[in-house]
Structure 1
């Protein structure tokens, strides 16, 4: 009798315990604090399919000035890397002998001109034949031609800049003897650069004059030089099956130099694309997901599958799954789960460093979920 009463009491005690545990499990827990994150919006922006190549820079105009006569240098009128204007006298060779010939020819011209004037006056009075006047005029024209030839010869002694540009190193001094063909100084026009590169011929239909491009170089890792295609080669290389392309790059600060290697990205097939930062993506098998933020529902997080297009440095094209203006978790993806609510510390639009966004969030209360 006592045993049956004890067993019944034990069963009642276990039942009451189970009921109490069940009540505790079904009681609502205290709402968790929203997880702080940084968000990004899906933006429509200009997009293009890039075509990459390696190119070499050339000066827009380039020349190595040399002597055409054997003579001694009498003056050097430039310094290293000096910017000079077209027509500036750079090097003067000793032209004293030619100057003497010019003065003698000019004196002869003055004499023959006087003879012509006298014969013309006599002919007008019928005191000299017309033939004398014509002979004197011919002799004057002859000496004029000789003077012109001497002046042309004199130009060989004056080395001038044929165009605006920057001279190279000054490796010659007054008193040096120069000979025909001897290199004296280089001159390059650097305010605009030519960029030569080759592109596979299969892309020929996408190439045209005026096509924009971006060029970078290891010499200036953070700089992007913008230019455009100016001309295409007339032939396809039968060995490499590539076509030569020439582009023009403005160089107002003269940072670029001939011979530099450039990485070229041609911007072709322009279109509008929906773009997100790469850090918003969550890979799962062969699929990609993002965590969207429902602002109308208290910043509730939902997991959504997206389809990717092309990638660029730090950004990716979204072809399906989002619409312009959708808000997604950018930084803090690993700390957030679907169904949770978040507080937004800032919006990453690429114009402000993340550390700056975090600093600003400390000064401004975050936008918490409802």
Structure 2
């Protein structure tokens, strides 16, 4: 009861000056009509918000590690640098392996020449076919060894597997690394994954593609838009919640993995007729609005409506009102059904109530 009295008192302190301004803002000749401010019933996107907390992850993330024991020979990146896929980031000393590769390549050339000579001799019946086949087998053997050496050499050159941003460099040229040593991190940040959980109660209405918005304490004045990309296949038996993964575009790379985000999931997106919440007139368990008939000198009709979801300052109308109909948004306490009202103005996104009242007050002063 205390909360209701406080809310009513606060609302009356706001409405009292408004009613006074409405009363004095008209010329005396027009004060036989009730002064009101109108609003259009607007058809606009609407949804039922569901709030949650989520954690950001990189779209792709990897930690490049050593697979051999060797010294670092070259570092080809700076802390926090954006790199392209395929770029060599780290080269390890590979002199011994390069020497083995050159020796194998020389042996391949020798055996290839032997195969060619024996093939020519065999074509003139001057060499047994078995010798040709043996030389071809030895050539294939050395070619396989070369492929193995070339494959091992890739372990000495660590390349970026995708476009991304490298982390801090914690090694130096000449450092000895061993298998498993973490050398550098790489994150793809142009798209971020946002993981959050919602109660299993909402599982039936969740689907990929649902829009959402998210905020971070690091950027309190900015809203990041995204959509649900996938829904977890399991329900947590302890929290009775399901994990949702969404994707958020991050072209300026301001968001970072690990950030906490306040998520508002837009459930059941739809087009709805929306009116200012101040235009509603409660009567028991019913709601009414005052519709202004512009074709009948602004005569007021009291009409029952069915209200859906509400937001701060707005209400969804399910039945009883059509888009673009004009209703009384301020001054509903003084207007009565059948009255012809004096329309001071129509409040919308471009014209505020304060601007309408100030304009009429200036006209009265003039």
Q: TM-score, normalised by structure 1?
A: 0.76
1:326 aligns with 2:325: yes
**Separation in structure 1 between the aligned mates of residue 92 and residue 227 of structure 2, nearest angstrom:** 42
Counterpart Cα distance in 1 of 2:358 and 2:35: 14
**In structure 2, what is the Cα distance between the partners aligned to 1:165 and 1:40?**
50
- Structure 2: distance between partners of 1:275 and 1:322: 9
Confirm or deny that 1:273 pairs with 2:272: yes
Cα-to-partner distance string for 1:130-178 (whole Å, 9 max, x where unaligned): 2222222111111111111111111011000111222222333322222
Alignment match, 1:127: 126
Query: Aligned residue for 1:245?
Result: 244
Residue in 2 that maps onto 1:344: 344
Taking a change above 3 Å as real, the CA distance of residues 139 and 209 of structure 1, as seen in their structure-2 partners, is same
Moved more, 36-45 or 96-105: 36-45
Aligned ranges for residues 246-265 of structure 1 at < 5 Å?
246-265=245-264
Indicate the residue corresponding to 1:227 in structure 2.
Answer: 226
- Mean alpha-carbon deviation: is it higher for 164-173 or for 86-95? 164-173
- Hey, what does 2:38 align to over in structure 1? 39
Indicate the residue corresponding to 1:24 in structure 2: none
Q: Is the 8 A contact 2:36 2:332 kept in 1?
A: no
In 2, are the aligned partners of 1:232 and 1:245 still within 8 Å (CA)?
Answer: yes
* Residue of structure 2 in register with 1:177 after alignment: 176
Deviating more after overlay: 258-267 vs 92-101: 258-267
Report deviation, 1:93: 1.4
* SS of corresponding position for 1:101: helix
Taking a change above 3 Å as real, the CA distance of residues 335 and 120 of structure 1, as seen in their structure-2 partners, is same
The structural deviation recorded for 1:234 is 1.9
Q: What is aligned with 2:10?
A: none
- Closer, same or farther in 2 for the Cα pair 1:131/1:250, shift >3 Å? same
The structure-2 alpha-carbon separation of the partners of 1:252 and 1:154, relative to structure 1 and needing over 3 Å to count, comes to: same
| Equivalent residue, structure 1, for 2:92 | 93
| Alpha-carbon distance change, 309 to 303 in structure 1, aligned in 2, over 3 angstroms | same
Q: 1:224 to 1:122 in 2, by over 3 A?
A: same
Partner SS state of residue 156, structure 1: helix
Q: Which whole-Å CA distance do the structure 1 matches of 2:119 and 2:319 have between them?
A: 97
1:354 aligns with 2:359: no
> 1: CA distance between counterparts of 2:353 and 2:279?
17
Consecutive unaligned residues of structure 1, counting only runs of 5 or more, are: 1-28
Q: 1:44, CA displacement in angstroms? A: 2.3
CA contact (8 A) 2:94 2:156 kept: yes
Q: 1:140 to 1:201 in 2, by over 3 A?
A: same
1:118 is aligned to 2:117: yes
Cα pair distance change 1:355/1:276, threshold 3 Å? closer
Change (3 A) 1:322 1:141: closer
Q: Secondary structure at the match of 2:137?
A: helix
Alpha-carbon contact 2:165-2:189 (below 8 Å) kept: yes
Q: Secondary structure at the match of 2:134?
A: helix
Counting matched residue pairs gives: 334
Q: 1:87 offset after TM fit, Å?
A: 0.9
Q: Mark the CA change 1:280 to 1:76 in structure 2 (over 3 Å): closer, same or farther.
A: farther
Match of 1:13 in 2: none
CA–CA distance in structure 2, aligned partners of residues 145 and 247 of structure 1:
46
Instruction: Give distance in 2, aligned partners of 1:356 and 1:152.
Output: 74
Distance 1:255 1:315, change over 3 A: farther
Report the RMSD for the aligned CA atoms in angstroms.
Answer: 3.4
Could you tell me which runs of 5 or more consecutive residues in structure 2 were left unpaired when the two chains were aligned: 1-27
> By how many angstroms is 1:223 displaced?
3.0
Of stretches 43-52 and 85-94 in structure 1, the one that deviates more from structure 2 is 43-52
